[in-house]
Amino acid sequence: MFQALKSLFTPQEPVDYSELRKNGASIIDVRTSGEYSSGHIKGSKNIPLQVLNSKLSKIDSTKPVIVCCASGARSGSAKRILESNGFEEVYNGGGWQSLNSALN
């Protein structure tokens, strides 16, 4: 338990999302389809969190995956789901708008 708490509060190395994307990372937006249709990152794929488990085959597990949502909470859950299903390189990009800014 202590290790899990420690990892929550240990500063992580900054992630260069632009570089990941240039190297073929896919961006999965786990918001609802209604949220996604009101604005999203160009080229991202919408797979709502509530159906993610049944859509894993739609995601290339051989490439890095960046997950995003509105604030970072659902994408955190999505990251854990993907990792528990064998995805090795998964990044929580947080809120889609801040991730979009980081990509440009």
9-62 pLDDT per residue, tens = 555 678 999 999 999 999 999 999 999 999 999 999 999 999 999 999 999 999
For 88-97, write each residue's pLDDT tens digit. Answer: 999 999 999 9
Q: Which fold has domain 16-103?
A: Oxidized Rhodanese; domain 1 (3.40.250)
Q: Provide the pLDDT for residue 104.
A: 81
- 91's CB contacts (< 8 A; 6+ apart) are 15, 17, 20, 25, 64, 65, 66, 67, 79
User: Hey, where are the domains in the chain?
Assistant: 16-103
pLDDT at position 2 is 47
pTM attached to this predicted model: 0.87
